[in-house]
């Protein structure tokens, strides 16, 4: 899989990690009860070799509160599987609002899960931010909105991320953030394909 970033509390090194890296475990709002549900690869699916392969895996949404379960197969186009497109305040598979959302600096701050929150906190909190040699177009940190990277908003954004970290430990419908609702800010589909016959064929 992709290399791990080398970070310290005051320095952050980004080798070009993509948002897809954080799609293995996504916390969402349950479609039945409004509590916290989890979107993960369907049980029995092979472990991906690269983080990008997570976008082509069959998925399962499960709620530990009400027992709701839903499965999703990747869309098929000819001999390939169509990849989900990460980004925006809904999960890229079921299009459910993310559980981890909060109002911050006049906007909405969101994350897929605890690992995503930790990665954002390391980047935002660093005084020195470095990029690796490779700069893929899908690099997550390079594509963060400017308001999240401004030094004069660092404390407010870090406080928002701390709120998301706390929300990750809550599960009841009444714990849902007032920001955790559908906003229709899905990214534009780009129809990336994965050749069928691989480990994610339905």
Cβ of 172: how many Cβ atoms within 10 Å? 11
Cα(195)–Cα(81) distance, integer angstroms: 6
Q: What is the pLDDT of residue 144?
A: 92
Task: Give 189's DSSP letter.
Answer: P
Q: What is the pTM of this model?
A: 0.86
Tokens of 4: 């791990």
Cα(8)–Cα(83) distance, integer angstroms: 33
What would the pLDDT profile of 64-73 be if each residue is shown by its tens digit?
999 999 999 9
Low-confidence ranges of the chain (pLDDT < 50): 2-5, 7, 196, 199-202
Place of tokens 């499965």: 71
What would the pLDDT profile of 40-66 be if each residue is shown by its tens digit?
999 999 888 888 899 999 999 999 999
Decide: 1 and 48 in contact? Cβ < 8 Å.
yes
Cα(66)–Cα(158) distance, integer angstroms: 32
């Amino acid at each position: 899989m992709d290399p791990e970033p080398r970070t310290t509390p005051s320095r952050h090194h980004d080798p070009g990690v993509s948002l897809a890296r954080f799609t293995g475990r996504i916390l969402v709002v349950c479609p039945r009860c409004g509590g916290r549900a989890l979107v993960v690869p369907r049980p029995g699916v092979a472990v991906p070799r690269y983080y990008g392969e997570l976008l082509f895996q069959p998925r399962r949404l499960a709620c530990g509160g009400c027992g709701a379960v839903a499965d999703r197969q990747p869309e098929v186009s000819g001999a390939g599987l169509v990849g989900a497109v990460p980004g925006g305040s809904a999960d890229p598979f079921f299009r459910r609002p993310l559980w981890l959302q909060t109002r911050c600096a006049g906007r909405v701050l969101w994350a897929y899960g605890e690992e995503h929150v930790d990665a954002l906190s390391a980047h935002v909190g660093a005084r020195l931010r470095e990029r690796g040699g490779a700069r893929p177009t899908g690099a997550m940190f390079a594509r963060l909105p400017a308001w999240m990277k401004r030094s004069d908003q660092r404390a407010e954004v870090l406080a928002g991320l701390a709120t998301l970290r706390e929300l990750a430990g809550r599960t009841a419908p009444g714990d849902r953030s007032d920001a955790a609702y559908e906003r229709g800010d899905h990214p534009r589909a780009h129809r990336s394909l994965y050749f069928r016959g691989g480990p994610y064929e339905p």
